[in-house]
Amino acid sequence: MRAGATVAVLFAAALGIAGPPSAAAAPGAQDECYTCHLEQEMPEALGYRHDIHRERGVTCADCHGGDPHSDDGDIAMSKAKGFRGVPKKQQIPVLCGTCHGGEGEGLRARYKLDDALSDYKQSAHARSLDANPKGAQCVSCHGVHGIVAVTDRTSPVHPGRVVDTCAKCHGAAAYMRDFNPSLPVDQKEKYLTSVHGRKHAAGDAKVATCVSCHSNHAVRTVKDPRSPVYPTQIPATCAHCHADATYMARYGIPTTQYDDYKGSVHGKALLEKSDLNAPACNSCHGNHGAAPPGVASVVAVCGQCHQSNERLYEGSVHKAHFEKKGLGGCVVCHGNHAVEPTSDTMVAFEKPSPCADCHVDGASDEAAPKIHRLRALLDSLTIGQKQAEDVLARAENLGMDVADAGYTLKDAHQSQVQSRVAIHSFREEDLEEAARPGIIVAAEAEEAGHEAIGEYRFRRQGLVVSTLIVTFAVFLLWLKIRQIERRQRDEDA
């Protein structure tokens, strides 16, 4: 959902651009309740003078019941005329829904309104209202008698004011304690520190606000998979604005981030494998306090998950070089949104290896010999692991039990993962310490595979010999039987 103009559409349903079916008259419909209360200068009537509902012909009786055509108080507020007085808070959504819900379909079509009641019923606010009459409902955000269109800057749900409106509840610790004591109440303060918040404070009505990410009437908890701020939904939610080239042109921001992220190792883990531990946009940029990581903070941001990598990088020779050149640590080699899976080919002198951006294979680069040695260690582990896997697969295809060797080979894979972590120190001794156990395990697994194949061959040769021996014994037995049979025939003759 986009901020600004889009918010106008999103909030239109609850702003009352039409009255209930009985009140679809032209402005100026008879309303003695309003006339009487206005003469008494009652705050409700004074506020209702400029209410958008009154401008559309909605009378006091359409919400409060009674007879708007009588100037007799007893008749106007007669229960026989349907007078209900001030509706209970838990009745307000259904009451507003007579126009802004399914029953008001004709009016909603005429005024292009959403079915706000249906959306609200799915929200966390509706559940809170069911449990506690202090829960948020229509008037909590839109006001009561002085409701104006969302495009009106005085509206509490205008893009310029909606943050303050949400903060009335979500910034009140005592109030929120009755609903969700664990929910932070400093969202507004964080928002004001964000890029979005700073632009909003400067008067930018197009920038993202609370409703841009959380929706308006259908606000769901972050644990609800249907919520636009559920982990698997967050990239698409951010992309509503950040993938729109026309919308982002005014800010000079690229719009390829979403596509880059979807193809990245992070994006595939989150969006394809539903790994909720995988990072989404807010994992690196923050949510309410969203801001792009600066050059100095990139390593700390990545280090939230990749702690060992961060520790090794902080003690490496690259850190000083990168800082001197104003480069942002991790992203120099891995990129930011389009992070690819790691591989041995990242340590090389040819593209796409990141080493090739700074290093050359020659005497002019004193780091070249070290790069060759580091790559050789990585290759030894990878090649050894592949050879062992191939030999074990051959043995298994021959029907040999090599499960133990295959299980042990998993240690080589773990050693490979640790080696790719150790490379961040750019010290041979660290890499060798991580790779050596895996190289040994791979060699042992390969040897076990060869032994299994050798045993298979031995068994096969033994089977051939055994078969020949048995066949020869059977043949001798057959000859003996024939001899006995001849002897018996001779004796009988």
pLDDT given at position 161: 95
Buried b vs exposed e over 199-236: b needs ≥16 C-beta within 10 Å? bbeeebbbbbbbbbbbbbbbbbeeeeeebbbbbbbbbe
CA distances from 59 to 24, 65, 261 (A): 10, 9, 53
**330-378 pLDDT tens trace:** 999 999 999 999 999 999 999 999 999 999 999 999 999 999 999 999 9
Distance CA 164, CA 167 (A): 5
pLDDT given at position 12: 36
Residue of 237, 288, 184, 308 whose CA lies nearest to 2: 237
pLDDT given at position 491: 78
Contacts of 312 (CB under 8 A, 6+ apart): 421, 422, 424, 425, 430
Mean pLDDT within 266-275: 97
pLDDT given at position 118: 92
pLDDT given at position 101: 86
Over its C-alpha atoms, the chain yields an Rg (Å, rounded) of 38
* pLDDT value at 148 more than 70: yes
pLDDT given at position 14: 36
% of the chain at pLDDT higher than 90: 75
Cα angle for residues 232, 233, 235 (degrees, 5° grid): 95
Distance CA 113, CA 12 (A): 6
* pLDDT value at 87 more than 80: yes
Categorize the per-residue pLDDT at 462 as very low, low, confident or very high, splitting at 50, 70 and 90: confident
Q: Does a cis peptide bond (omega within 30 degrees of 0) precede residue 352?
A: yes
pLDDT given at position 103: 72
Three-class SS state of 85:
coil
Q: Any idea which of 298-302, 331-335, 478-482 has the lowest mean pLDDT?
A: 478-482
The most confident of the ranges 69-83, 334-348, 467-481 is 334-348
Categorize the per-residue pLDDT at 253 as very low, low, confident or very high, splitting at 50, 70 and 90: very high
Distance CA 14, CA 141 (A): 9
Mean pLDDT within 120-143: 94
Report the number of secondary-structure helices (H) and strands (E) in the chain: 29, 0
Place of tokens 């309303």: 31
pLDDT given at position 104: 67
pTM of the model: 0.81
* pLDDT value at 182 more than 60: yes
* Domain spans, the chain: 368-461
Which has more confidence, 69 or 9? Answer: 69
Categorize the per-residue pLDDT at 51 as very low, low, confident or very high, splitting at 50, 70 and 90: very high
Mean pLDDT within 98-115: 77
Mean pLDDT within 149-167: 94
pLDDT given at position 403: 94
Residue of 27, 162, 16, 166 whose CA lies nearest to 97: 16
Q: Any idea which of 24-28, 116-120, 201-205, 299-303 has the lowest mean pLDDT?
A: 24-28
DSSP letter, residue 26: P
* pLDDT value at 8 more than 70: no
Mean pLDDT of the chain: 89
pLDDT given at position 27: 52
What element of type H or E holds 9? helix 5-11
Distance CA 328, CA 291 (A): 15
* pLDDT value at 22 more than 70: no
Query: Left, alpha or beta for 419 (phi > 0: left; psi -120 to 50: alpha)?
Result: alpha
* pLDDT value at 131 more than 60: yes
Categorize the per-residue pLDDT at 143 as very low, low, confident or very high, splitting at 50, 70 and 90: very high
* pLDDT value at 5 more than 50: no
Q: Any idea which of 163-172, 324-333, 380-389 has the lowest mean pLDDT?
A: 324-333
pLDDT given at position 355: 95
Distance CA 95, CA 62 (A): 9
**312-323 pLDDT tens trace:** 999 999 999 999
Contact of 331 with 339, CB cutoff 8 Å: no
Distance CA 469, CA 142 (A): 98
Contacts of 302 (CB under 8 A, 6+ apart): 284, 309, 310, 329, 330
Q: How many residues does the chain have?
A: 493
Contact of 162 with 200, CB cutoff 8 Å: no
